[in-house]
């Protein structure tokens, strides 16, 4: 109902209440007007409350540390050789700018830099500035992480600018809106291990995988451990915190479904006996003890720290 419609109802109501109630027609008009105002009030109240609830729900999802599992359990997926089958990543959603392009410029001896595909975010829910997680300003021996702005100009294009000491030091100009993603973006927690399993191919009847860990948003791999799964063991692969069902596989692609996410109730993988173990190898040899140690770690019976410490102790005995 527009303003004109509200004015008509308002005028009718005023006239009805001020005029003498000479017949039932006026009484009916009063009832109709009251009913219309009641419905309008209820509608506006629901609209306002619904809008507030939506905003509140969105705000609650931001700036909260979570363990994100991808893909979601039950979702059918198809990937290629070398891609991640499943990952567990710790971090939070922040309000960010993510440029798709790189920009570097030297101004009066100062070097300004904008990295491609690196988030520039508001650090907290109350922050006003977008700040990078990398150094974007260098001048002589000094370096800093300067705030960045993203604004639309009168001609419809956008400028992405590094601001130094309150002024725009340099700008990537004449950008389209699509060249810089803006909105909620998942930012990995620094120094926390992100875990994943990669598909490494098919060798005969043996599926080849790699368990990897990274603490810098997958830029480098801190741990990379290859393992195999025989198709004769069944189509459900279990390893550490992961469990997924293989639907179809060949040398270059894998179709699968994640069955469950990280949790204490998950079934643990049973490691495949090492093919290279020799029957006449002494049970207490360093090589044998290393294999046993790795099996204990793969079954989650010892922690990463315990595994690394014991492994180092054994290697020092060689």
pLDDT digits (tens, 9 = 90+) for 147-158: 999 999 999 999
**Residue 19 pLDDT > 70, yes or no?**
no
Banded model confidence at residue 221, pLDDT cuts 50, 70, 90: confident
Q: 185 or 300, which is more confident?
A: 185
Q: How many CB atoms lie within 10 A of CB 159?
A: 15
Mean pLDDT on 3-16: 40
**Residue 292 pLDDT > 90, yes or no?**
no
pLDDT for the residue 219:
83
pLDDT for the residue 93:
95
**102 to each of 11, 98, 131, 306, how far by Cα in Å?**
61, 11, 16, 42
DSSP calls for the chain: --HHHHHHHHHHHHHHHHS---SHHHHHHHHHHHHHHHHHHHHHHHHHHHHHHHHHHHHHHBS--EEEEES-TT-EEEEETT-EEEEEEEEEEEEEEEESS-EEEEETTEEEEE-TT--EE-SSTT--SBEESS--EEETTEEE---EEEEE-TTS-EEEEEEETTEEEEEEEEE-GGGEEEEEEEEEPTTPPEEEEEEEEEETTEEEEEEEEESSTTSS-SEEEEEEEEGGG-SEEEETTEEEEEEEE-SSEEEEEEEE-S-TTSPPPPPPPPTT--TTS-TTSHHHHHHHHHHHHHTTSS-HHHHHHHHHHHHTT-
Q: Could you give the CA distance from residue 233 to residue 273 in angstroms, rounded to a whole number?
A: 13
pLDDT for the residue 301:
61
**Range with the lowest mean pLDDT among 54-58, 79-83, 223-227?**
54-58
Phi and psi at 233, nearest 5°, equal -75, -15
Banded model confidence at residue 8, pLDDT cuts 50, 70, 90: very low
**Range with the lowest mean pLDDT among 61-75, 125-139, 296-310?**
296-310
Q: 186 or 269, which is more confident?
A: 186
Banded model confidence at residue 63, pLDDT cuts 50, 70, 90: very high
β-pairing verdict for 194-203 and 76-80 = unpaired
Q: 5 or 160, which is more confident?
A: 160
Q: Could you give the CA distance from residue 164 to residue 173 in angstroms, rounded to a whole number?
A: 17
Which residues make Cβ contacts (< 8 Å) with residue 303, sequence separation at least 6? none
pLDDT for the residue 282:
53
Q: 98 or 288, which is more confident?
A: 98
Mean pLDDT on 14-23: 41
pLDDT for the residue 162:
96
Q: Could you give the CA distance from residue 223 to residue 198 in angstroms, rounded to a whole number?
A: 12
Mean pLDDT on 255-271: 57
Q: Could you give the CA distance from residue 108 to residue 88 in angstroms, rounded to a whole number?
A: 45
Sheet holding 76-80, edge to edge: 76-80, 253-260, 242-249, 236-239
**Range with the lowest mean pLDDT among 40-44, 151-155, 205-209, 263-267?**
263-267
**Residue 122 pLDDT > 80, yes or no?**
yes
pLDDT for the residue 284:
61
β-pairing verdict for 137-139 and 110-114 = antiparallel
Average pLDDT value for the chain: 77
Q: Could you give the CA distance from residue 43 to residue 45 in angstroms, rounded to a whole number?
A: 5
């Amino acid at each position: 109902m527009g303003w004109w419609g509200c004015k008509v109802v308002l005028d009718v109501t005023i006239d009805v209440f001020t005029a003498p109630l000479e017949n039932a027609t006026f009484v009916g008009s009063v009832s109709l007007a009251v009913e219309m105002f009641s419905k309008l009030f209820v509608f506006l109240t629901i609209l306002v409350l619904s809008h507030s609830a939506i905003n509140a729900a969105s705000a609650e999802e931001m700036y909260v540390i979570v363990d994100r599992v991808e893909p979601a359990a039950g979702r059918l997926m198809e990937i290629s050789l070398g891609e991640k089958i499943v990952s567990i990543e710790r971090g939070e959603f922040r309000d960010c700018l993510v440029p798709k392009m790189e920009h570097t410029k030297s101004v009066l001896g100062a070097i300004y830099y904008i990295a491609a595909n690196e988030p520039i975010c508001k650090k907290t829910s109350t922050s006003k500035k977008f700040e990078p997680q990398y150094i974007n300003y260098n001048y002589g021996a000094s370096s800093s992480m300067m705030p960045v702005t993203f604004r639309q100009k009168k001609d419809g294009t956008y400028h992405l600018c590094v601001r130094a000491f309150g002024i725009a030091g340099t700008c990537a100009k004449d950008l389209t809106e699509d060249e810089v993603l803006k909105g909620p973006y998942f930012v990995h927690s620094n120094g926390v291990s992100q875990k994943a399993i990669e598909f490494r191919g098919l060798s005969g009847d043996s599926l080849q995988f790699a368990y990897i860990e990274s603490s810098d948003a997958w830029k480098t791999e801190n741990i990379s451990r290859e393992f195999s799964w025989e198709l004769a063991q069944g189509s459900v692969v279990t390893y550490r915190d992961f469990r997924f069902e293989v639907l179809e596989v060949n040398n270059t692609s894998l179709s699968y479904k994640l069955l469950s996410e990280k949790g204490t109730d998950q079934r643990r993988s049973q490691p495949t006996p090492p093919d290279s173990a020799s029957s006449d190898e002494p049970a207490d040899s360093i090589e044998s003890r290393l294999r046993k140690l790795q099996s204990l770690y793969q079954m989650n019976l010892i922690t990463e720290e315990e595994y690394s410490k014991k492994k180092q102790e054994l290697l020092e005995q060689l």
